[in-house]
Amino acid sequence: MRLFIAILLPEPVREALSALRLGLPGARWVEPEAMHLTLRFMGEVNAGEAEDIDAALAAIHVPAFDLAISGIGNFQSRRRVRSLWVGLGRSEPLARLQGKVESAVVRAGFEPERRKFKPHVTLARLKKTPVGHVGAYMETHDTFAVAPFAVTAFTLMRSYLNRDGPHYETLAEYPLEGAQQPNRATVRSTEPT
């Protein structure tokens, strides 16, 4: 199973972000229903490891909080722009949640993440998009912002890769304290034994 831990975005936020999905040649836009904020990418894990991750994440206790999306940026490698994203305003509650997720994953037996956490929501993956086009697009949208929204839970997600891009499945949801959420579902292996 290919897993990651994320905050899913409410529909009004995804709608606002979907308005940005135009005007950039060579962009492979992320579908609105797939937009999320990754807290920790796990990669390939087996069913037993998934259950250990689930148990560790279920022990996290963090209050619900608000989060705001603002600004636009990109990730580059070797003078090529790889992806376009929107950023998140500085948030101590988000940093606290991500830190607790990281600690839980390490307690479950995984290596610590070496990369620094850079909160963002990917808008598009880019291939052979001229850097000048990316710069013009970013300049046009540099004041983009979305009103703060409530973060009431985080999720354990499974990713399926295919030619059309990744598809996601929610395996478990973990409500934050003070949030009105249904009881948490637990991870059950869907892999053949």
Catalytic residue flag (residue 36)? yes
Q: What is the pLDDT of residue 110?
A: 96
CB under 8 Å to 172, separation ≥6 — which residues?
Answer: 54, 57, 58, 155, 156, 184, 185, 186, 187
Query: Parallel, antiparallel, or unpaired: how do β-strands 80-88 and 120-126 relate?
Result: antiparallel
Q: What is the pLDDT of residue 181?
A: 52
The gap from C-alpha 49 to its chain's centroid, in whole angstroms, comes to 21
For residue 144, give the amino acid letter. F
> How far apart (Å, rounded) are the C-alpha atoms in residues 62 and 170?
20
Q: Rounded to the nearest 5 degrees, what angle is found at the Cα of 127, between the Cα atoms of 26 and 169? A: 95
* Predicted TM-score of the model (pTM): 0.88
Q: What is the pLDDT of residue 192?
A: 39
- As a dihedral over the C-alpha atoms of residue 110, residue 115, residue 121, residue 123, rounded to 10 degrees, the angle is -110
Catalytic residue flag (residue 120)? yes
Q: What is the pLDDT of residue 131?
A: 86
Note the helical H segments in 92-173: 92-107, 131-140
- As a dihedral over the C-alpha atoms of residue 107, residue 112, residue 113, residue 114, rounded to 10 degrees, the angle is 170
Domains in the chain, start-ordered, CATH in brackets? 2-175 (3.90.1140.10)
* Residue of 36, 133, 141, 167 with catalytic role: 36
Q: What is the pLDDT of residue 112?
A: 95
pLDDT tens across the length of the chain (193 residues) = 999 999 999 999 999 999 999 889 889 999 999 999 999 999 999 999 999 999 999 999 999 999 999 999 999 877 788 999 999 988 999 999 999 999 999 999 999 999 999 999 999 999 888 888 999 999 999 899 999 999 999 999 999 988 777 889 999 999 999 876 544 444 444 443 3
**Tokens for 72?**
């636009």
* Residue of 120, 133, 141, 167 with catalytic role: 120
